[in-house]
Each structure stands twice: as C-alpha cells, then as structure tokens.
C-alpha cells in the first residue's frame, strides 16, 4: 500500500461515491423510465445517445486536458455534472428533458475519465501502474456492490417508489464532488499550456502515436467488438429461470468479486507483466462465454460470474495501465481518451451485433461467437512484444 498516494486515495473515494450513486439507479432505471411512459425502443435510443456522448467526449476532453497541462478541473466538472443529473431525472419527466439529464450524466463521465486516468498515471511509475489502477478500480467497483444493495433494501420497503431513489442517489454523488475539491494539480515543467483543440483533433494523435500503441489498441478494439453489454449475461440468467432478485444478486456478486480481485491482480501484474495478466483475463472471458452458451444451473451461474469478475479485474484497469505505459506523459490523457472514444463506438456495435445474433440464432450462438473471437484476439496479442515504456517518470 506504500505506493497508494494521497491523490490516488482521493480519486478512489471520489469514484467509490460516484459509483454508489450510479449503480444505485442501475437496477431501477429501465423500470422508472417505463413508469413515466418510455417505450423499450426509446430507452434503447436514450442509452445509445448517452453512451455515444460519453465515448466521443472522452477523446476530446482527454486531448484538451493534455493541451492545457491540467487534470483536476476536468475531474471536478465531470463529477459535478454526473451528480446534478441524478435529481434532474426525478424532477423532469418530459422525454426531451430526460434525454438532457441522462446525457449530462454521461457527458460528465466523458469530461473526467481521461484526465482522471492520466492523474492516476502521474502518481505511478512504470513498475507500479498495475497496482495503482487496480486499487482505483477496486474502490470504484466496490460502489457497484454497495449501490445496487442499497437499492434492493430501499425497494423492499418502498416498492415501485423509484423517484425518491434518484434524490437519495444525489447524496453520494455530492460527497464525490466535495471530495474532488481536495485534489491539486501538478504542473509538469515540460508541458506548455495551450487550450485550443478541435472536437476531432484526437484523430491526429492516432497518426503520430507510437507503433506499440496502435498495435495494442487494434487488439483491444477487436475484442471490444465481440464484448457486448453485460445485460446479455443477465438476460441469459433470467432466461434460464432465475427471478429478478436472484439476477440482481448475481450482478452484485460479480461486482464484489471484481472489487476484491482488482488490487491484488494489479500487484501481480506489476510483478509478472501487464501482458500476461491481460491475456489471462481474456482467456477467462472466453471460458465464461463458452459456459454461458450451455449453462442453465443456478450454482454454475454464480461460478461463471465469479470467473467473469476475475476477468474484469484482469483487463479493465490493466489495459489502461498498459496504454499509459507506452504513451508519453504529455499525451497520456489523449492516448487513453482516444482509445476510450473508439472503444465506446465498438461497444455499441458489439451490443447491436449480439442482439441480432441472439434474435436470429439464439443465445448460445451469441456467446460461442464471442468466445471463439476472443481466442483469436489472444493469439494476436501474443505477437506483441514486451512494450518499451515511453512514460517520463514523475517521481
């Protein structure tokens, strides 16, 4: 724990509070939207627009953060937007205002993500990236355990009273904003502040980015194209006969495993290599999807979601750490934001492909195709040599 600095602790607590707020609403969002007149199609459009906003804005604000040489303002504003969006969704029920509120939440995520990850990267050396990002991811995901658990308790006593929950979610969101004011920017001497940046200027980074970055990102994006929303995993569990409460319990259990394993896996990654851990995680993903294609047993589902939690711990923060290690520190936010922007587009395509395959050929085909495609990505990543670290140490 000696490498976990004050800044890392603050960012981790901010993410914890924010995820409690967001994940508290995750189980009730579709039900609430339907209760105020949204159709399934409109809900799908809403989520698509919101995620597209988050994805594209991550790239732009990552570039803007690098150009300005500052991180903290983007972190503060991003978390503030997400916090105020929660009560707005309860106050405004007109569809256009709901779209605005939901998009504001995702826009906030887009503003803060690359700058926050760059700030984490600045607190680490090349040898401690795994544990720094792993610790942050662990705290972040702990919020995804606490949030839905609080929602279940609330709905037990106040069933179908969804609107109040949005006001309750504002409390941890506000705590996150207040905690973000404890952060301070470091001003690296080798960065000359310049604020101008066009919305698509991040595309220029791809042209000048290191070959190692391009090769890694191509592999990660290829995997993303076959890594559809976790909703499909929950839908498979529901289709196999599990009731709503058990499905949510399985989701909470997955996040608990994810939270518990992120930090120790990060420490292990620093010792044996980020590449080995990432590939091991992808192999676990493939195994889980093979299992999902045939399983209908409740206990096996809990086992598969356990492995899925370990997969997430071994890939999410680890991939970001790897990207930051092969990017110059002055371009860290741009590198992460560019990947996140392309990743969001691929995620939307992946869920669309999965839905079409599920509709045409059934659930088993959806999971089997993803499992086989992931094995091909693993073979591709095995061809990438151990990266030459480009980061300039900040310590």
pLDDT in tens, 370-391: 999 999 999 999 998 765 544 4
CA dihedral 252, 226, 278, 344 (to 10 degrees): -80
pLDDT cut 90: percent of the chain above it:
36
352 Cβ neighbours under 8 A, 6+ residues apart = none
Could you give the CA distance from residue 282 to residue 316 in angstroms, rounded to a whole number?
11
The whole-number pLDDT of residue 392 equals 44
More confident residue, 261 or 317: 261
The whole-number pLDDT of residue 328 equals 79
Could you give the CA distance from residue 86 to residue 53 in angstroms, rounded to a whole number?
17
Closest CA to 3 of 152, 90, 125: 125
In the block, tokens 């508290």 appear at 24
| Structure confidence at residue 395 as a pLDDT band (50, 70, 90) | very low
CATH code for the domain defined by 6-184+201-381: 1.20.1250.20
C-alpha neighbours within 13 Å on the C-beta side of residue 34: 9
| Structure confidence at residue 197 as a pLDDT band (50, 70, 90) | low
Residue 193 has pLDDT above 60, yes or no: no
The whole-number pLDDT of residue 388 equals 53
More confident residue, 71 or 95: 71
First-residue to last-residue Cα distance in the chain: 17
Which of 24-28, 40-44, 359-363, 367-371 comes out lowest in average pLDDT?
40-44
What is the distance of C-alpha 215 from the center of its chain? 21
The whole-number pLDDT of residue 393 equals 40
Could you give the CA distance from residue 63 to residue 42 in angstroms, rounded to a whole number?
32
Residue 195 has pLDDT above 70, yes or no: no
| Structure confidence at residue 202 as a pLDDT band (50, 70, 90) | low
Report the predicted TM-score, pTM, of the whole model to 2 decimal places: 0.81
Residues 124-162 pLDDT 10s: 887 888 889 889 989 999 998 999 899 888 888 887 788
Which of 168-182, 194-208, 311-325 comes out lowest in average pLDDT?
194-208
Q: Where are the domains of the chain?
A: 6-184+201-381
The whole-number pLDDT of residue 44 equals 63
The three-class DSSP label of residue 200 is: coil
Could you give the CA distance from residue 213 to residue 207 in angstroms, rounded to a whole number?
11
Share the mean pLDDT of the chain. 85
pLDDT cut 70: percent of the chain above it:
91
| Structure confidence at residue 17 as a pLDDT band (50, 70, 90) | very high
The whole-number pLDDT of residue 189 equals 46
The arithmetic mean of pLDDT across residues 320-337, rounded, is 84
| Structure confidence at residue 192 as a pLDDT band (50, 70, 90) | low
| Structure confidence at residue 334 as a pLDDT band (50, 70, 90) | confident
| Structure confidence at residue 243 as a pLDDT band (50, 70, 90) | confident
């Amino acid at each position: 724990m000696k490498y976990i600095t004050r800044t890392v602790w603050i960012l981790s607590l901010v993410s914890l509070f924010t995820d409690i707020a967001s994940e508290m609403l995750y189980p009730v969002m579709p039900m609430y939207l339907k209760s105020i007149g949204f159709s399934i199609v409109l809900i799908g459009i809403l989520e698509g627009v919101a995620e597209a906003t988050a994805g594209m804005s991550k790239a732009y604000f990552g570039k803007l953060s690098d150009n300005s040489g500052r991180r903290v303002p983007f972190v503060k504003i991003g978390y503030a937007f997400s916090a105020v969006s929660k009560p707005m969704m309860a106050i405004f029920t007109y569809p256009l205002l709901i779209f605005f509120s939901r998009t504001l939440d995702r826009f906030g995520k887009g503003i803060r993500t690359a700058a926050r990850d760059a700030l984490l990267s600045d607190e680490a050396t090349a040898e401690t990236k795994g544990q720094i990002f792993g610790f942050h991811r662990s705290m972040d995901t702990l919020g995804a355990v606490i949030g839905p658990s609080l929602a279940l308790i609330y709905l037990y006593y106040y069933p179908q009273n969804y609107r109040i929950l949005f006001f309750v979610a504002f409390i941890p969101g506000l705590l996150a904003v207040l905690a973000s004011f404890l952060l301070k920017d470091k001003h690296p001497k080798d960065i000359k502040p310049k604020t101008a940046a066009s919305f698509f200027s991040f595309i220029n980074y791809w042209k000048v980015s290191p070959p190692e970055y391009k090769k890694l990102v191509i592999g990660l994006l290829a995997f993303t194209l076959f890594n559809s929303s976790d909703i499909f995993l929950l839908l498979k569990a529901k289709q196999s006969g599990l009731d709503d409460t058990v499905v949510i319990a399985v989701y909470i259990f997955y996040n608990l495993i994810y939270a518990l394993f992120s930090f120790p896996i990060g420490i292990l990654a620093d010792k044996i290599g980020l590449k080995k851990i990432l590939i091991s995680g992808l192999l676990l993903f493939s195994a889980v999807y093979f299992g999902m294609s045939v399983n209908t047993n409740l206990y096996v589902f809990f086992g598969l979601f356990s492995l899925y939690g370990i997969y997430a711990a071994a890939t999410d923060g680890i991939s970001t750490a790897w990207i930051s290690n092969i990017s110059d520190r002055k371009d860290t936010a741009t590198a992460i934001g560019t990947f996140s922007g392309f990743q969001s587009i691929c995620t939307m395509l992946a869920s669309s492909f999965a839905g079409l395959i599920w509709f045409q050929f059934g659930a088993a085909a959806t999971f089997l195709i993803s499992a086989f495609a992931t094995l091909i990505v693993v073979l591709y990543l095995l061809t990438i040599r151990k990266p030459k670290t480009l980061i300039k140490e900040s310590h």
